[in-house]
Amino acid sequence: MLMIDCPWCGRRDQSEFSCKGEAHIARPVDPFALSDKEWGDYIYTRSNPKGEHAERWLHSQGCRRWFNALRNTVSDEFIVTYKPGEARPDTSAAASAEVSP
């Protein structure tokens, strides 16, 4: 059972949250300027990485606010949570420091 840091409420039990899929997929400004393939990518294609994944979470049993999180899909660890509209945090420096020789 994970512990998740809601950017508004603080650390809470996973049972208060719902995962809402990949983050940073902006709705196209003009959907009709897109080909079927491009629109299909927007609604269907997701990255599904092994490792660090940016995803949306909803504090559904708490403040009911949405936020983003970087989670490691292998270890299930939450690396950082941040508010919608904020850029995806760069963890490359921290990650390379953790790599053991």
Partner 1 sequence: MSQRYRLAGAGRVDRSSPLSFEFNGKQYQGYRGDTLSSALLANGVHLIGRSFKYHRPRGIMASGWEDPNAQVQLESGGHTLPNTQATVTELYPHLRATSQNCWPSVEHDVGAVNSALSRFFVAGFYYKTFKWPRKAWEPLYERVIRRAAGMGKAPAEEDPDRYEHQYAHCEVLVVGGGVAGLAAARAAADSGVRVMLLDEQNEYGGALLGSSGESIDGMDALDWVASTVAALRENPKVTLLTRTQASGYYDYNYLVATERVTDHVGPQPTADQPRQRLWKIRAQQVVLACGAIERPQVFADNDRPGILLASAIRHYQHRYGVLPGKALVVLTNNDSAYHTAIDAAAAGVHATVVDVRPAEDIGAADRARKAGVVVLENSAITGVDYRVKRGIRSVAVHRLSPDGESLVGGAMHIDCDLIGTSGGWSPTVHLHTQARGKLHWLDEHLCYVPAQLGGNSNPRRSAGGCNGALGLAEALAQGHAAGSDAARDCGATTASVSAPAAQSNDFTLGKIRPLWVLPCEHPVGMGKKKHFHEYQNDATVADVQLAHREGFSSIEHLKRYTNTGRGTDQGKLTNVNGIALMAQARRQNVPDVGFTTFRPPYTPLAFGAVIGQNTHDTFIPARPTAMHPWHVEHGAVFEDVGDWKRPWYFPHSGESMHDAVQRECKAVRASVGVLDASTLGKIDISGPDAVRLLEMVYTNAWQKLAIGQCRYGVMCNEHGMVFDDGVTTRLGEQHFHMTTTSGGAARVLEWLEEWLQTEWPDWQVFCTSVTEQWAVVSLNGPRARDVLAKLTDIDLDEESFGFMRMREGQVAGVEARIFRISFTGDLAYEINVPARYGRYVWEQVMEAGAEFDITPYGTEAMHVLRAERGFIITGQDTDGTVTPMDLDMDWIVSKKKPDCLGKRSWTRSDTAREGRKQLVGLLTQDPEEVLPEGAHIVSKVLPKPPMEMLGHVTSSYYSPNAVHNGSTGRSIAMALLKDGFARLGDTVDLALIDGRHVRAKVVKPNFLEEAGDA
Strand order from edge to edge, sheet including 18-22 = 18-22, 52-58, 66-72, 78-82
Closest to Zn ion by CB, 46 or 83: 83
Q: How far is the CB of 90 from partner 1 (least distance, A)?
A: 20
* Residues 64-83: x where in contact with partner 1 by CB under 8 A, - otherwise, as a string: xxx--------xxxx-----
Q: How far is the CB of 1 from partner 1 (least distance, A)?
A: 4
82 binds, among partner 1, Zn ion, none (CB under 5 to 8 A by kind): none
Q: Does residue 50 interact with partner 1 by CB under 8 A?
A: no
For every residue of 36-50, DSSP letters joined together read HHHHHHHHH-----S
Instruction: Return the amino acid letter for 26.
Output: A
Nearest of 84, 94, 17, 16 to residue 52 by alpha carbon:
94
Which residues would be at the binding site for Zn ion (CB under 5 A)? 6, 8-9, 59, 62-63
